A and B are shown apart, each in its own frame.
Chain A
Amino acid sequence: MTFDLEVVARIFGRLVDGLWMTIFIVIASMILGNLMAIPVALARVSARWWLRYPAAAYILFIRGTPLIVQMFMIYYGLGQFPAVRQSFLWPVLRDALACAILALSLNTAGYSGEVLRGAIETVPKGLKEAGTALGMTKWKVMLLVTVPLAIRQSLPTFANESVLLLKASAIVFTITIRDIMGEAVIIRSQTFRTLEPLISAALLYLLLTFLIVQGFSLAERYLNVHRKRATVTDMLAGMR
């Protein structure tokens, strides 16, 4: 068992092909999933039971079952029904890439929805009342006051969720997609070398994790500019 750098040099190009696939899948599911998380969270905190209970059940199912099973239900499972095979959605549901993004997005919607719900509940009541006092409708208060504040509040958690999404995306190779992990597995079966493709793939994933963490901390700094000013003022006040 040796680690051969020449092998790494030979397979590196193929792993980079997989890298683009991974980046594409993660960004697409991040956008789709987090957009879907907003209605999930709003339904979860709704006063109407017929919105609240289904949302709670959805979140429970997504968080209580393995993602790989959810993905298999969509990719291998849905074709069981003739109605699905004859519907206009079949070209989408037959496509592995579309199913992978769908599964990861639905999953993200469940996890982020729960995070967002927690954040929505911590938005101070006074801010919402201020919105109402300015003559905003309930919907406007929700979309212009509560949700933006809740999103900013949950940014550190979203950084974590995005890393989890990146890591979760590695299972899409089980439905034939050639992401970083997919390429590494194919190389392993073709060359009978285990360490070179897997460790190189691990390094690429670490690089992506690093980029996500850095990106979010930049976004956090940008969105919290007003707070930074406040701390500087506080410091000056303390010095006086």
Chain B
Amino acid sequence: MLESLGLIGFGDGGWGFALLGGALVTIEIAVASYVVGILLGLVGAWAKISGPGWVKAIGAGYTSVVRGVPEILVIFLIYYGGTSAIRSLTALIVPGVDVQIAAFPAAVAALGFIAGAYATEIFRGSLLAIDPGQREAGRALSLRPYQVFGLIVLPQALRLAVPAFGNLWLVVLKDSALISVVGIRDLLGIGQTAALSTRQPFTFYTTVALIFLLISTVSMVAFHLAERRLARGQSSR
């Protein structure tokens, strides 16, 4: 038992620093994918609510495909399919050039693409939940459409969406563990290497799980506080 503690510690022969580095990579990938997902979600929600017919269809196809296909499969498709598509495209434009796509942006693209579908649904739901009277009042004050959206509709919709976005962050964080399957040295990737080289798989996988649990618990508390702060001034319903 003490031997195991030494292995996950920061001392000689300990994997502490390696695991910490892996945790940082995981957080970086998760945060970047989350941001990409939110931006995609805004575009997606616009497409599904007020885009022209064919844009609406693309939006609907995007969300239903991502919600019906396993995350790991989407990651494989974007990570391998996407990079080779980009490479053959550049080879077509500039023959003889071999582009290498770095692992990190490819991973973020894949996870962000998945998060974007969920964010689309969240934004759509919360934007539609805003009373049309609010929009009409804005127009009556002769605000421009982007002002009505940015100053009136979006702030209220965001407040409604906070709990769902807290949930989405936890989903993105946990999905980010899948990225180790394509060989990225994130928390789980480091844990796998450590498990193989020390022959103590349970020790390391449990440590990895507990680090994930720590990150998700801290974020749950943070989102809860944010929710409370944003709900101030609202009558408790």
Residue on A with the closest CB to B26? A66
Chain B: interface residue total (CB-CB under 8 A): 43
Interface assignment of B147: CB less than 8 Å from any CB of chain A: no
Partner of B174, one of A61, A65, A195, A198: A65
Residues of B close to A70: CB separation below 8 A: 209
Interface assignment of B228: CB less than 8 Å from any CB of chain A: no
B209→A61 contact, CB < 8 A = yes
Q: Assess A174 versus B181: contact at CB under 8 Å? Given A69-B188, A73-B206, A194-B84.
A: yes
CA separation between A216 and B213, bound complex, in Å?
32
> Which residues of A181-234 have CB atoms within 8 Å of chain B's CB atoms?
181, 184-185, 188, 194-195, 198-199, 201-202, 205-206, 209-210
Name which of A61, A69, A206 has the most chain B CB atoms within 10 A of its CB: A69
A198→B177 contact, CB < 8 A = no
Residue on A with the closest CB to B199? A80
Q: Assess A194 versus B81: contact at CB under 8 Å? Given A69-B205, A69-B208, A77-B201.
A: yes
A64→B202 contact, CB < 8 A = no
B202→A206 contact, CB < 8 A = no
Partner of B69, one of A78, A174, A202: A202
A168→B70 contact, CB < 8 A = yes
The smallest beta-carbon distance between B188 and chain A, in angstroms, is 6
Residues of B close to A68: CB separation below 8 A: 177-178, 180-181, 188
Interface assignment of A170: CB less than 8 Å from any CB of chain B: yes
Residues of B close to A205: CB separation below 8 A: 68-70, 73
CA separation between A202 and B77, bound complex, in Å?
9
> Which residues of B76-129 have CB atoms within 8 Å of chain A's CB atoms?
76-77, 80-81, 84-85, 88
Partner of A69, one of B77, B175, B209: B209
Chain A: interface residue total (CB-CB under 8 A): 41
Interface assignment of A116: CB less than 8 Å from any CB of chain B: no
Partner of A171, one of B65, B170, B178: B178
Residues of A close to B174: CB separation below 8 A: 65-67
Residues of A close to B212: CB separation below 8 A: 64-66, 69
B206→A181 contact, CB < 8 A = no
Residues of B close to A78: CB separation below 8 A: 202
Interface assignment of A81: CB less than 8 Å from any CB of chain B: yes
CA separation between A208 and B138, bound complex, in Å?
45
The smallest beta-carbon distance between A181 and chain B, in angstroms, is 6
Residues of A close to B84: CB separation below 8 A: 1, 194
Residues of A close to B201: CB separation below 8 A: 72-73, 76-77, 79-80
A163→B80 contact, CB < 8 A = no
Partner of A163, one of B67, B88, B181, B206: B67
Interface assignment of A167: CB less than 8 Å from any CB of chain B: yes
Residue on A with the closest CB to B181? A174
A171→B216 contact, CB < 8 A = no
A60→B209 contact, CB < 8 A = no
Residue on A with the closest CB to B198? A80
> Which residues of A44-72 have CB atoms within 8 Å of chain B's CB atoms?
60-61, 63-70, 72
CA separation between A170 and B67, bound complex, in Å?
14
Q: Mark A163-178, 1 if CB is under 8 A from B, else 0.
A: 1001111110010000
B65→A66 contact, CB < 8 A = no
Residues of A close to B134: CB separation below 8 A: none
The smallest beta-carbon distance between A2 and chain B, in angstroms, is 9
Residue contacts A-B, CB under 8 angstroms, 19 given? A1-B85, A63-B170, A64-B216, A72-B192, A73-B206, A73-B209, A76-B201, A77-B201, A80-B199, A167-B68, A170-B70, A170-B73, A171-B181, A188-B76, A198-B77, A198-B80, A202-B73, A202-B74, A209-B69
Q: 6 nearest interchain CB pairs?
A: A170-B70, A77-B202, A209-B68, A66-B177, A64-B216, A80-B202
**A residues engaging B (CB < 8 A)?**
1, 60-61, 63-70, 72-73, 76-81, 163, 166-171, 174, 181, 184-185, 188, 194-195, 198-199, 201-202, 205-206, 209-210
**B residues engaging A (CB < 8 A)?**
65, 67-74, 76-77, 80-81, 84-85, 88, 170, 174-178, 180-181, 188, 191-192, 195, 199-203, 205-206, 208-210, 212-213, 216-217, 220
